[in-house]
Structures are given as C-alpha cells and as structure tokens.
Amino acid sequence: MQIDNNSQIIVRKLERKDNAALADIIRNSLAEHGANKPGTVFFDPTTDDLESLFREPGSWYFVAEQNGKVLGGAGIYPSSGLPKDTCELVKMYLLPDARHIGLGRKLIGMCLDKAKETGYEQVYLETLPELKQAVKVYEKFGFTYLKGPMGNTGHFGCNVWMIHQLG
C-alpha cells in the first residue's frame, strides 16, 4: 500500500469494522520484526476484537486511515494491576508505508493527550527490543525505562518496560 501524499490521513475513534484490518497490521508488524512470540499481543485473543476491548471505561483507541484504508492505530487502556492513576499505551502499530512520516508520533501524542484528559497521571508501556524504532520514538516522548513490569497485562513475552509522567 502506498501513502497518497495528495490525500489527507484522518484519525478517528475505533469502530467494529476496523477489527480485522488492525489485527492483521498488529500481527504482520510483529512477524516482520521477529517479535511474533508467545506472551505478546500476537497471540492475545483480544487482538481480533479490539472494538469490544476498548469499550472498557478509561480506554480509548485511535485509528488512522486514508481513503478508507486503515493505516494503523494506538490506544490507552487501564490494564489490570496498574495504579488507578496509570494507563497503558497499547497496540501502537502501523503499516510499513505509514511509518517514518510522523504518523506514529501523532498517534502517541494523541494518546498522551487523551490519557491526561481522562485523568491519568502516568502512561506505562511494554514492548520488545526487536521494535527498535518504536523504542526510540518512546524515548523522544520522555518515556523512561523501568527495571520490571507494572501490573498484570498478561504479555509475559515483553521485556522492555517504560513509563511517562504526564505533566
């Protein structure tokens, strides 16, 4: 898929019709980077029905699309076991052609703004070292490394944990 530079990319709230496209984007991105491992979102059954998952109070998911084609998305979620003032940045994945054009930064910024608006004081994330480019972007947003996981996300395959203080 080629990004159309003459057509606007829109970002909107997740809808049921997005489920299959987002599941494909997530799983293909992980496989592309050799990160399709047990204990990751690759094998998480909620990946196939994100719209139901993001009905949870305190959660939100943004979808980026162009000309009706889903390019990817990102969200916040009050993952189990996290402190009440903390949400998790989750399922931040883009099609290969939608990377390196600032869309990931835009989605992360929107998620951080939504987290603050929702009343969270910090945003947590879990990722994998294989997703090097994403980790660099998180660092630029001020995410700092933790020595271990927070909460109980169920994704025991992730071994990079980061936190961002909302100000």
Consecutive 10-residue runs of the chain (167 residues): their mean pLDDT? Answer: 76 98 97 90 93 97 97 97 96 94 96 98 94 92 96 83 95
List the structure tokens of 114. 């939504």
List the structure tokens of 57. 């109070």
In-domain check, residue 55: yes
pLDDT value at residue 146: 97
User: At CA 47, angle to CA 45 and CA 51, rounded to 5?
Assistant: 115
What is the domain count for the chain?
A: 1
pLDDT value at residue 154: 75
pLDDT value at residue 153: 80
pLDDT value at residue 2: 65
Q: Write down the H helix ranges in the chain.
A: 19-32, 50-53, 103-118, 132-140
pLDDT value at residue 10: 96
**Residue 150 maps to which CATH number?**
3.40.630.30
Q: Domain span at residue 79?
A: 10-165
pLDDT value at residue 129: 87
Q: How far apart are CA 33 and CA 29, in angstroms?
A: 7
The helix (run of H) or strand (run of E) holding residue 88 is strand 86-94
pLDDT value at residue 151: 82
In-domain check, residue 5: no
Q: To the nearest 10°, report the CA torsion of 126, 96, 102, 46.
A: -40
In-domain check, residue 66: yes
